[in-house]
Structure 1
Amino acid sequence: MYLQLDLQFFAGEKTEKATPKKRQDSRKKGQVAKSQDVNTAILLFFVFILFIVIGGYLKDNFTAIYQKFFTEYINWDVTEDSVHQVFVENTFAVAKVVAPIMAIAIVAGLASNFLQIGFLFTTEPLKMKLNKIDPIQGAKRIFSARALVELVKSLLKIAVVGTITFSILWMRKDQMFMLGGKDINGSLAFFGETTILMGIASAIALLIISVIDYTYQRYDFEKNIRMSKNDIKDEHKNIEGDPQIKGKIKEKQRQIAMRRMMSEIPDADVVITNPTHYAIAIKYDEQKADAPYVVAKGVDYVAFRIREIAKANEVMLVENRPLARALYDGVEIGQVIGEEYFQAVAEILAYVYQLEKKL
């Protein structure tokens, strides 16, 4: 009894790798190995690269907005129409500046997701599930090993990014102290360059961390979708069907085929026997086939039933052991006999027809 319980316990342990079907089902539910840090790192990197490319464009547009505020808008009377015009004009001006950044952010986000999981669209994670608002389940998630890993990872990212940004500012402190002697363009160029440098360095550091995190996420995902031996057996049953049900279906099909075969015996021209082990019912119908064909065949009990039905319906029984054995092995039910059997079967049919005429 204890041995049986131990076997059941081990069979229920999730020690097996997930099957392709399990992976496909998990993917449909939105359960995939994915690191959000990869998205963040790639997004930051490409956004700051974009700042290098369109830095002059951004400076000119923001300077134009600033100048318009303090040279034109400052002289307007505060009315409903003027406020509306200021709002509309600056909304379009800011949108024109933000549009390239939003575009590269969307492209980087889609690309980072595609690199990790390929194309995937599912609404399963958006469905309402009561266990998501269960306080007990929520507490388990908060105080779980995964939550601890996320906390350590967040602290590591804060420490790395903080160290990088402070180091860059410290290395450029002398230039920062000399900004008082520079004009506005020089100061903007310095701060823009420093910001981009900190952003790209932080993005590269986060990308390195994200590779480690992605490796962990894949490990955790593989662990979560592991299957027990019982799970694999159940899945196999669901795919292939329950063996007992399949066996019953096959048995039912055999019974139907047997009844159909037996119903053809009364119309047969002759039954060739072994005489006891084999029985082959032959019929020749010019309208259905160019040669005689097998309407029923069987061994042992089935052969006995064929002989009984043939006798009851006055179908001639002819003993020919080699031919009966050869026809059983070489011709299926409903098939015409092969050329190698033509002469032997023709002689038997001729003999049967002669006897029927005499009778």
Structure 2
Amino acid sequence: MKKYPFKLQLQYFADEKTEKATPKKRQDTRKKGQVAKSTDVNTAIILLLVFLCFWFFGSYFGNSLANMMKHTFQTYLLSSVNEPFIETMFTELLLQAALTFAPIMLVAMVAGVFASYIQVGPLFAPEALKMKLSKLNPIQGAKRIFSIRAIVELLKSLLKISLAGVTVFTIIWFNLEDVMLLSQKSVTSGLNLIGQLTALLGIAVAILLLILAVPDYIYQKYDHEKQIRMSKKDVKDEHKNIEGDPRIKSKRKQKQMEMAMQRMMQEVPKADVVITNPTHFAIALRYDESVSDAPIVIAKGVDYIAQKIKGIALDHDVITVENKPLARALYMQTEIGDQVPEALFKSVAEVLAYVYRLKTN
């Protein structure tokens, strides 16, 4: 057995389609028109509804065709042939044919839409209508013709043709006596019999195809799920695309921190006091009794940021007070925008009182 390097084996297993498709992959394939759908379901439902229409409204179609033929023989054959007559005749025949067969076309259209809807739901995929030159590739076409899927479709077609042939033969066999007596019946009776047999044959074949369409739809669903499977690498790449590249996320987070730091530093000049420990911590407090009941932390930092806060405070004549325990407690117990905890009210009040005395002197 040929052995491959570990790296190639690892890549093979990473690219193997073993994972179920993610919701995003399903949505993307759906937009492309790639859905689990059986054409047999569409064919069976269309045939069934159309032949049921013939069964229930066959007399209407027969009478319409009979009237059209009667009008043709009684009127058109006795008229002189010229250009206006041909135009009039063509228009009348076309209108009568449209009125006769429009209900059948409407039923077929509704049946097709209904059959597609119950399989895939509401779907509009214009991307599936785009012309792709790759579909004209003879090599790819040959692969599709001689693929496992093509063999399955061939076997399905042979099975359907065989069963449909048996069904038609059986129905005709049971009605063979009536068929043999057609030559002795009137035209009207013969046409009625032929119409009834045709509708019966159509309904029977449609029901047969509908029964065969159930396992076909199950197979199409299974095959579709197999086609859209993903490898572990595909899942990771999709997650990375959704969440963003870690390096980009890190840069974005760093940029957000820089902007937040800049806004915080802009608030330092508005502080009433900066409490330090004095080298590691710095907390800027502001008290406005019209806004809050207690002083608010508008900036805080440790080490480099603490030194920067103290530098800005010095540049804008904000009083700095050294109180190691209070500075550490405020840094640990508060976030920017928080009010001073009630447990620290007394210590902060003493500091602010000291600051106000300095400002008034």
TM-score, normalised to structure 2's length? 0.90
Specify whether residues 5 and 353 from structure 1 end up closer, same or farther in structure 2 by C-alpha distance, changes over 3 A only: farther
2:14 is the counterpart of 1:23: no
1:223-262 aligned at under 5 Å gives the runs 223-262=226-265
Specify whether residues 311 and 79 from structure 1 end up closer, same or farther in structure 2 by C-alpha distance, changes over 3 A only: closer
SS in 1 for 2:230: coil
Q: Which has the higher mean CA deviation after the structures are superposed, 42-51 or 124-133?
A: 124-133
SS in 1 for 2:301: strand
SS in 1 for 2:80: coil
| Matching residue of 1:34 | 37
Question: In structure 2, how many angstroms separate the alpha carbons of the residues matched to 1:354 and 1:176?
Answer: 120
2:316 is the counterpart of 1:317: no
Q: Which has the higher mean CA deviation after the structures are superposed, 117-126 or 299-308?
A: 299-308
- Contact 1:269–1:316 (CA<8 Å) still a contact in 2? no
Q: CA shift at 1:23, angstroms?
A: 0.7
Q: CA shift at 1:340, angstroms?
A: 4.7
| Matching residue of 1:293 | 296
1:120-139 aligned at under 5 Å gives the runs 120-139=123-142
Paired residue type of 1:194: L
Q: Which has the higher mean CA deviation after the structures are superposed, 307-316 or 148-157?
A: 307-316
Q: CA shift at 1:72, angstroms?
A: 2.9
Specify whether residues 71 and 263 from structure 1 end up closer, same or farther in structure 2 by C-alpha distance, changes over 3 A only: closer
How many pairs does the alignment contain? 357
Q: Which has the higher mean CA deviation after the structures are superposed, 149-158 or 239-248?
A: 149-158
Specify whether residues 66 and 344 from structure 1 end up closer, same or farther in structure 2 by C-alpha distance, changes over 3 A only: same
Please tell me the root mean square deviation across aligned C-alpha atoms, in Å: 2.4
TM-score, normalised to structure 1's length? 0.90
2:81 is the counterpart of 1:91: no
Paired residue type of 1:292: P
Question: In structure 2, how many angstroms separate the alpha carbons of the residues matched to 1:132 and 1:81?
Answer: 48
| Matching residue of 1:167 | 170
Specify whether residues 66 and 270 from structure 1 end up closer, same or farther in structure 2 by C-alpha distance, changes over 3 A only: same
Q: CA shift at 1:108, angstroms?
A: 0.5
Question: In structure 2, how many angstroms separate the alpha carbons of the residues matched to 1:22 and 1:78?
Answer: 65
| Cα deviation digits, residues 45-88 of structure 1 (max 9, x gap) | 00111111111111111111222233332222222233222222
Q: CA shift at 1:6, angstroms?
A: 2.6
Question: In structure 2, how many angstroms separate the alpha carbons of the residues matched to 1:270 and 1:308?
Answer: 13
Q: Which has the higher mean CA deviation after the structures are superposed, 332-341 or 233-242?
A: 332-341
SS in 2 for 1:191: helix
| Matching residue of 2:63 | 60
2:162 is the counterpart of 1:190: no
Q: CA shift at 1:91, angstroms?
A: 1.3
- Contact 1:292–1:336 (CA<8 Å) still a contact in 2? yes
Q: CA shift at 1:352, angstroms?
A: 2.6
- Contact 1:307–1:317 (CA<8 Å) still a contact in 2? no
- Contact 2:47–2:206 (CA<8 Å) still a contact in 1? yes
2:122 is the counterpart of 1:119: yes
- Contact 2:310–2:320 (CA<8 Å) still a contact in 1? no
Q: Which has the higher mean CA deviation after the structures are superposed, 109-118 or 263-272?
A: 263-272
| Cα deviation digits, residues 14-34 of structure 1 (max 9, x gap) | 111111111111111111111
1:196-207 aligned at under 5 Å gives the runs 196-207=199-210
Question: In structure 1, how many angstroms separate the alpha carbons of the residues matched to 2:216 and 2:88?
Answer: 49
User: Percent identity of the aligned residues?
Assistant: 54
Q: CA shift at 1:325, angstroms?
A: 3.9
Specify whether residues 83 and 356 from structure 1 end up closer, same or farther in structure 2 by C-alpha distance, changes over 3 A only: closer
2:144 is the counterpart of 1:141: yes
| Matching residue of 1:101 | 104
SS in 1 for 2:181: helix
- Contact 1:42–1:108 (CA<8 Å) still a contact in 2? yes
- Contact 2:272–2:287 (CA<8 Å) still a contact in 1? yes
